Structures are given as C-alpha cells and as structure tokens.
Amino acid sequence: MAYANVLNIGMWLGLAVMIVTFVIYISGVFPSFVPIDDLPKYWTMRVHDFNVALHAPTGWGWAPLVGKGDYMNFIGIAMLSGLTILCYAVILPILIKKKDTAYVVIAIAEILVLSLAASGLLKVGGH
C-alpha cells in the first residue's frame, strides 16, 4: 500500500505541475525556446533533424532552460517519469524489513535500471 500511496500523491502532484506549467507556456508569460507559432513548422521533422535545426538540447540539457515556457513543462514530465523510481525507493526498506531477499534484489536492480535510463548517458545515433 505504501507504493500505491506514494504513486497516488506523486501522480496528482505531477499532474498539477503539468497543468500549471502548460497554462504558463501557452499564455506566453515566459518566452519559449521554440515560439509556439513556429511549432507546426518543426513538429513534422525527425527528432534528430529537429535538434540540429533548432540547436535543441538533449539529455538533461533542458534543465538550465526551465525558465523557457516550453521547457518549464519538463519539470512535471520529469516528475512523472521519476515517480516509479521514488516508489521503489519507498518500498525497498519495507522489503528489507520483511527480509524478502528476492524482492529486495529485484527492487534494487530495478532502481538501477531506471536510473540508467534517466541518466542521459545512453546515446542514440541520428537517423
């Protein structure tokens, strides 16, 4: 149930952040990295071409740009994407306390897998 409770709170929080940042984004209060009106010109491109044309950041390169209207939304997206890692970290002590060795190992391995994916260390060649 600890997993469910953290998941529930985190999901609502992430959703709220996303809604707020999206409203800010489309309001234009903060200038965007890619002007909203220009988006239709670029969203038909493959992501590699998009990044080259706009010098868009990859990996965690968006973090310094959270002041931009579009990249501000990445805060909520990252929250939701990281929620599962948090849930596993919460249940890990519980599994250890129960001496559920197999599931302790599984939980630790999962945290490592998800952290690797989130790290930005994995690169993909351009198509």
Partner 1 sequence: MPSAVPTSAAPWWVWPVALFIVTFVLGILAVLGGVGGGVLFVPIVGGFFPFNIDFVRGAGLLVALAGALAAGPGLLKRNLASIRLAMPVALIASAAAIVGAMIGLALSAAVINTLLGATILFIVIIMATAKKSDFPVVPKPDALSQSLGIMGIYREESLGKDVEWTVHKTPQALFMFIVIGIMAGMFGLGAGWANVPVLNLMMGAPLKISVATSKFLLSITDTSAAWVYLNQGAVLPMIVIPSLVGIMLGSMIGVKILAKSKPKAIKWMVIGLLLFAGLRSLLKGLGIWK
Chain residues that interact with partner 1, rule: CB under 8 A = 1, 3-5, 7-8, 10-11, 14-15, 18-19, 21-22, 25-26, 36-47, 49-53, 56-60, 70-71, 73-74, 76-78, 80-85, 102-103, 106-107, 109-110, 113-114, 116-118, 120, 122, 124-125, 127
C-alpha span between 77 and 9 (Å, rounded): 15
Tally Cβ neighbours within 10 Å of residue 120: 12
Backbone angles phi, psi at 125, to 5 degrees: -70, 150
At its nearest, how many Å lie between partner 1 and the CB of residue 8? 4
At its nearest, how many Å lie between partner 1 and the CB of residue 64? 15
**Token pair of 96, please?**
């250890």
